[in-house]
Chains A and B, each alone.
Chain A
Amino acid sequence: DSGVTQTPKHLITATGQRVTLRCSPRSGDLSVYWYQQSLDQGLQFLIQYYNGEERAKGNILERFSAQQFPDLHSELNLSSLELGDSALYFCASSVGLATYNEQFFGPGTRLTVL
């Protein structure tokens, strides 16, 4: 158990809908990261927050947004969903900003868009 929790574990929704994925980092970790894992794209970094501020952006679509709250939990919002958004979404956390910090991954949320 990494100490990172993600809810829900599974989510099934329809095209055009909006969903929110939630992540609670390990106790003491200030950085939260979001990743998307799909069969065709592999694992891709989406976005990083550190202590409430956005710090790095990857291949995140404009239809997607995220935020980190004062209690350090984070939410990833996916809107106008398309079939291609079906994927496993991982959250990870680390103690600091630096790239050499170990990232601890949650179990993921599996999103299915029908």
Chain B
Amino acid sequence: AQSVTQLDSHVSVSEGTPVLLRCNYSSSYSPSLFWYVQHPNKGLQLLLKYTSAATLVKGINGFEAEFKKSETSFHLTKPSAHMSDAAEYFCVVSPNAGGTSYGKLTFGQGTILTVHP
């Protein structure tokens, strides 16, 4: 079984300040982990993914995330927020096992990021 907990439902930052969106996961298998972003009235877009290679993963638009197995965490960070970063962010886990787990993603509840001028 697998689950994802996004620790904050809303995060508010000022433009130019750092962003931290927190995610903890639980998985019976060595997981793949993803962060997706959803802008209003749009589909989801992949920001970055971890698949058991480097633990620090760099994504698009200056975002990065660090996989910490001991803490079962996969927090998303960005050094300097931009107004265009305002969106909803989803932490996602998927098992790396085969069988009936193919392609099955489990989504966190989402974190809405607000960026103030």
By a beta-carbon cutoff of 8 Å, the part of chain A in contact with chain B is 2, 4, 31, 33, 42-45, 48, 50, 55-58, 90, 92, 94, 97-108
Nearest CB in chain B to that of A57: its residue: B100
By a beta-carbon cutoff of 8 Å, the part of chain B in contact with chain A is 32, 36, 42-46, 49, 51, 90, 94-96, 100-110
Q: Do B43 and A45 touch across chains, with their CB atoms under 8 A apart?
A: no
Q: Do A98 and B43 touch across chains, with their CB atoms under 8 A apart?
A: no
Contacts of B104 in A (CB 8 A): 45, 48, 56, 58, 99
Q: Which of A4, A33, A58, A107 contacts B42 (CB 8 A)?
A: A107
11 pairs, CB–CB < 8 Å, chain A vs chain B: A45-B104, A50-B102, A55-B100, A56-B103, A90-B43, A94-B103, A99-B32, A99-B95, A99-B103, A105-B44, A108-B43
Q: Do B105 and A45 touch across chains, with their CB atoms under 8 A apart?
A: yes
Report the bound CA distance from A33 to B107 in whole Å: 14
Apart from the given pairs A31-B103, A55-B103, 8 other A-B contacts in the complex at a CB distance below 8 Å = A33-B105, A43-B107, A56-B102, A98-B102, A99-B104, A100-B51, A103-B105, A108-B43
What are the nearest 4 A-B pairs in CB distance? A105-B43, A99-B94, A43-B107, A100-B51
Contacts of B109 in A (CB 8 A): 42
Report the bound CA distance from A4 to B46 in whole Å: 14
Q: Do B42 and A100 touch across chains, with their CB atoms under 8 A apart?
A: no
Contacts of B100 in A (CB 8 A): 55-57
Q: Which of A90, A97, A104, A106 contacts B103 (CB 8 A)?
A: A97
Report the bound CA distance from A107 to B45 in whole Å: 10
Contacts of A103 in B (CB 8 A): 46, 103, 105
Q: Do B43 and A2 touch across chains, with their CB atoms under 8 A apart?
A: yes
Contacts of B44 in A (CB 8 A): 90, 92, 105
Contacts of B107 in A (CB 8 A): 42-45
Contacts of A4 in B (CB 8 A): 43
